[in-house]
Chains A and B, each alone.
Chain A
Amino acid sequence: SAVISQKPSRDICQRGTSLTIQCQVDSQVTMMFWYRQQPGQSLTLIATANQGSEATYESGFVIDKFPISRPNLTFSTLTVSNMSPEDSSIYLCSVGTDGSGNTIYFGEGSWLTVV
């Protein structure tokens, strides 16, 4: 299994500011992803964090709003830029560990409230 740590776990942010969320895994992983869970909603994939190259974004998500870094196989960051109240969500890091697509773990999430 993989132990995933996300920071911050919770934060209250001012409108117009940016916040960077960190995801640290205790072992090297093949794949890392970022998901968003808006209040009362299900999870939506934001992007795949690619090691050493630009992230791959899903429809409706853009790099200017959600820049992602992945400098190595154990760490990634997601920045939520120029935040508005609509960005109030849980942001979750997800990792795949075994190269076969059938072992997927989630971090505890970062709960952001934008005021």
Chain B
Amino acid sequence: AQSVTQLGSHVSVSEGALVLLRCNYSSSVPPYLFWYVQYPNQGLQLLLKYTTGATLVKGINGFEAEFKKSETSFHLTKPSAHMSDAAEYFCAYSGAGSYQLTFGKGTKLSVIP
């Protein structure tokens, strides 16, 4: 069965520093991979997704992620953290062509002024 592992339930970075949120998956079929963000008391917003093609995907708000099949990873990065990036981030997986998502446990990002 597929699974998604997010390393670190809580990550703190200084404003302006690099943001790196880690996500690894296990799957027996080609994956579709997603990052969602959840701001306090709000629903989920899609940041970016990988389905096929280019392995480096760019999303909203300056975030990007790189799909590395050999490492079964899909880490999320942003060169310079902003206070408004403070939120919870979820990595999710679906099998190619499926809409059913398996979520990681989430990583709460704090940005320190």
Which residues of A are interface residues toward B (Cβ below 8 A)? 30-31, 33, 35, 41-45, 48, 90, 92, 94, 96, 100-102, 104-109, 111
- Is A109 a contact of B43 with CB atoms below 8 Å? yes
- Is B90 a contact of A105 with CB atoms below 8 Å? no
With A42-B105, A106-B36, A106-B43 as known contacts, state yes or no: A101 contacts B90, CB within 8 Å: no
B window 55-106: CB within 8 A of A:
90, 92, 94-106
- Is A104 a contact of B105 with CB atoms below 8 Å? no
Q: B57 to nearest A CB, angstroms?
A: 11
| Per-position 1/0 for B22-57, Cβ under 8 A of A | 000000000010101000011111100101000000
- Is B98 a contact of A105 with CB atoms below 8 Å? no
- Is A101 a contact of B98 with CB atoms below 8 Å? yes
- Is B32 a contact of A107 with CB atoms below 8 Å? no
With A101-B32, A106-B43, A109-B43 as known contacts, state yes or no: A42 contacts B49, CB within 8 Å: no
Q: Which B residues lie within 8 Å of A105 (CB)?
A: 46
Q: A56 to nearest B CB, angstroms?
A: 10
Known: A104-B94, A106-B36. 18 other contacts (CB 8 A): A31-B99, A33-B100, A35-B101, A42-B104, A43-B44, A43-B90, A45-B101, A48-B100, A90-B43, A92-B43, A92-B44, A101-B32, A101-B51, A101-B96, A102-B32, A106-B45, A106-B46, A111-B41
